[in-house]
Each structure stands twice: as C-alpha cells, then as structure tokens.
Amino acid sequence: MPANTDDHCSSPKNIGILAISTYFPHSYVDQNELEQHDNVSSGKYTIGLGQKQMGFCHDNEDVCSLCLTAVSNLIERNEVSYNEIGRLEVGTETIVDKSKSVKSVLMQLFVESGNYDVEGVDSTNACYGGTAALFNSIAWMESSYWDGRYALVVCGDIAVYASGNARCTGGAGAVAMLIGPNAPLVFEQGLRSSYIRHAYDFYKPDLTSEYPTVDGKLSVECYITALDSCYQSYCTKAEKRLKLPTSSFSLQNIDYMLFHTPYCKLVQKSLARLVLNDVVRDTIHCYCDKHRKDAQEIQQFKDTSLPSCIFDRTIEKSCMTASSNIFNEKTSPSLLIARRVGNMYTPSLYGCLVSLLVSTSSEQLLGKRIALFSYGSGLAASMYSIKIQDTSSTSSRFTLDTLQHNLCDVIKKLDSRQKFSPVDFTKVLERREHVYNKCNYTPVSDEQVLFPSTFYLSNIDEKFRRTYKRKPSHDVIVTNGDSSMNGHH
C-alpha cells in the first residue's frame, strides 16, 4: 500500500505521477497519401498542419476498450494491485452511453481483487476532461477523504470527423496515469491557472453521430485567447509563489512547454505566442543570451494588443521565426506521438508528456520544470506545472528510471503499426458511421488489426450491452472463456 490507510494525521507530500502508460491503435494512414487521395495541395496536411500519420480504430474498438487496455498495461507493468487504487476517474468526450460511465466499465478489471470501494466517475468537456479528472484526483488526495491509496486517471477518446477538410485532424488513443505521493513527476502546488467561458467553437449536439460540429476559425481564436490568459495568470502566480520580482517569470523559467495538440503546427504557433507574450510583458530580459537575441527580433511588437493580433499573419510568422530555437528545445520533443497518431482529444496533452519522457534522457529531465497547457472546446483551459524529482534515494518504489523504462516500447510500437491506404481508411470510417449506435451487432474486424494484449469489443447484444475480450500476448494462449469480459456480469 502507498501509505497507512488508518493514518490521516500527515498530509501526502510530493503528489504527482508515479507511472504512466499509453495506448494508440495498430492501424494508421499516411498523411502524404491522404493529401493525394483528398486531392488537396501537396504539403497541406504534412507541412501546413505538421502531421505525418494518423491512427484510427476499426469497428472492434471503442473508448472503453482503449481505456481497458491502457489501465491493464499500467497495472501489469508496474506490478500494482487493484486493491491499492482508491480513486479511478476517466476523462473522455467519446460517449457510448448517455448514463453509464466508462469508469464503471473499467471496474471489470477490479473483480478478481474484490475492490469496489473506488471513488470517481467520468469528466466531460471536450479535450479538457482528462485534466479535470486529474485535478479532481489531486484534490481527493489532498483532502481529509484520502485513505492512503493511489488514484488512477484515465484519458481516452476516438477522434473522427466527417469527410472533408477536418478529417485529417483525427486520431485515437488512451493514457492512464497512477497518481500518488513521493512521485518522480510532482505537481507544483499553487501553480495553476484556468480560463473557462461559453463558446460554440467545437461541439457534438447530434447524439446519433460520432462527428462534431466545428467552427475552425473560432476554435483557433478560443484556443489562443485561453492560452494568453492562462499563461499571464500562471506567470503572476509563479512570481508570488516562487518569491520572484514582478514581471520576471518567463519561458526562461520553464524547461519544457507542452500543449494540447489538435495539430502540430498550432503548437508551434502557440509556443511563438508565448514568446510574444513575454515581449509584451517585458520579460525577455530574463532570457538566456541566445534566446534573448532571438526574441529581440520581435521587439517591435511590444506594444501590440494581444487580442487584436491573433490572426495577424505578419506577427505570427515573425514570432515563429524568432522562437524556432526555443520551440526545438522546449516543445518539439513532446510531439512524437501527436505527429504520428494525430489528435487523441483528452489524452493529447498527456501523449505529449509521454513523448517527452521517451525522447529525453533522465539526466536531462531531473530537476526540470514542465509546464502543461490543457484546452477543451466549449471552452475550458488550464495551465499547470510539474517538477521532476529524483526519488531513487527514498523509499518510493517509483522512480523516473522505472517510469521511463516502462514506456520503452512506445517508439517500437509506433514503428510496428499497420499502414492502410486512404481508400481502406475511408471504408473503415464509413463502416463505423453505419454501425454507430447499433445493437445486436458483432464487429466484422478481427484481432489482426490489434496489438497483442489489446482489449476489443466483441459484441453488442440486443439490449446494447457490450462485451469485451482481450487479444492474447505473443507468448500466452488464452481460451475464449478466460479472455471475455462482459459489461453485464
């Protein structure tokens, strides 16, 4: 157990991420080939959006199967008992039931342990739900209701769009995070800012369809406006919390800057936007010599009104050029999965965290600050930060080396996926559209389109009850009777 469950006298210290796992589909489509298939200009998806590949799910995967796989992988690889989990909360916007939560489906994994005393349900607000679930779990652990056990936060979504210019920005995946004290990735207390308001930039009013309604220009405006507000508020709080002089906290104090990633080019523009914020805030004097010299190239914009220049292409291009070195150092390493899988919605930001962890050595990470910007349309956004600590000398069983080791197959799995032609990809989405909300249905796709040890949807009965099975690993043969999981035990 993580702590004495009878001892509520002391508060947990250094709450953060103890372990993390990610899942993305075995199937993908190449964005170069998709450009040709869609008859758009060469480079529109690959250069204009910054995307290389896009993962997608067949009809035998849904949000529940994605989350089942992410959770089981995390538990098994880190040798955690289901009895050690006291809270499990899911962030998702992929709805398979208007009442029953995805979290309740995940409780099938707890049957053998007999542990049903597990708080939490689902949090929903577009791509922000995972962050809401994370904040709720931190609050539980800091409260008088914490019983000494770990929290488990799961983000999962399938992002698909109707045929047209937005389809190339889809993706799918899940991320599971084990939260507890004495963590290698520690949430910085008091350093969190939020921006929440009403907007119709992206939403899903049609419950008979997987596809969203999107106002692309408004979505970008909302994202950048939320980013400006969260960053400025975060900096102000950081100056007070860290006892720094006013107007002295800047990107120089952030070692790695991660963003929710609808597409990678927006992230590059967002990092440039933060440099512009620092110019307007007059904090680039805090930059190191190399970065300060770069930022001074846009010093002429120091009196710019930020709200009025969101779509000013001259300013945007100048800022991206001036910030290219900062982007390559602080943000680019976090885009590995996003470039090759696409937008996973709620797991997107946390896929960026996984990407950073598998792309950067522990020596480069220890002692560093990671700032994370989470955005969900509609809209809700937050910025917060993580400090990476060395727990190897403590009694904690979770270290940065262990966390990274358990992610060591991410790149191998990206490289081992199966590529589908745009024609076949389109057929898969057409089938998903045709069978959406169907009952008494058995998926036509087989296990060959799945990674080993992946959970998958095996049947939806006449009462819409879903049954799941798990594909065996390479070296384990599991009978049908042993591998099935029913949503109606």
DSSP for 49-62, written as a single string: S---EEEE--TT--
Answer for the pair 438, 460: CB distance below 8 angstroms, yes or no.
yes
CA distance linking residue 83 with residue 110, whole number of Å:
8
Residue of 89, 93, 119, 210 marked catalytic: 93
Sign of CA dihedral 213, 258, 400, 250: negative
Residue of 67, 127, 230, 352 marked catalytic: 127
Whether 286 is a known active-site residue: answer no
How many whole angstroms from its chain centre is CA 96? 20
CA distance linking residue 25 with residue 28, whole number of Å:
7
What's 245's DSSP letter? Answer: P
Answer for the pair 219, 201: CB distance below 8 angstroms, yes or no.
yes
How many whole angstroms from its chain centre is CA 272? 21
Q: Which residues contact 218 (CB under 8 A, 6 or more apart)?
A: 199, 200, 201
Answer for the pair 14, 181: CB distance below 8 angstroms, yes or no.
yes
Whether 363 is a known active-site residue: answer no
Of the candidates 202, 134, 179, the one whose C-alpha atom is nearest the C-alpha of residue 343 is 202
CA distance linking residue 138 with residue 146, whole number of Å:
10
Side by side, the strands of the sheet bearing 53-56 are 53-56, 27-30, 418-420
> H/E element holding 102?
helix 102-106
Q: Which residues contact 191 (CB under 8 A, 6 or more apart)?
A: 234, 237, 238, 241, 384, 385
Residue of 26, 64, 222, 260 marked catalytic: 260
Whether 93 is a known active-site residue: answer yes
CA distance linking residue 26 with residue 7, whole number of Å:
45
Q: Which residues contact 106 (CB under 8 A, 6 or more apart)?
A: 64, 67, 68, 71, 88, 90, 154
Answer for the pair 368, 255: CB distance below 8 angstroms, yes or no.
yes
Tell me the catalytic residues.
93, 127, 260
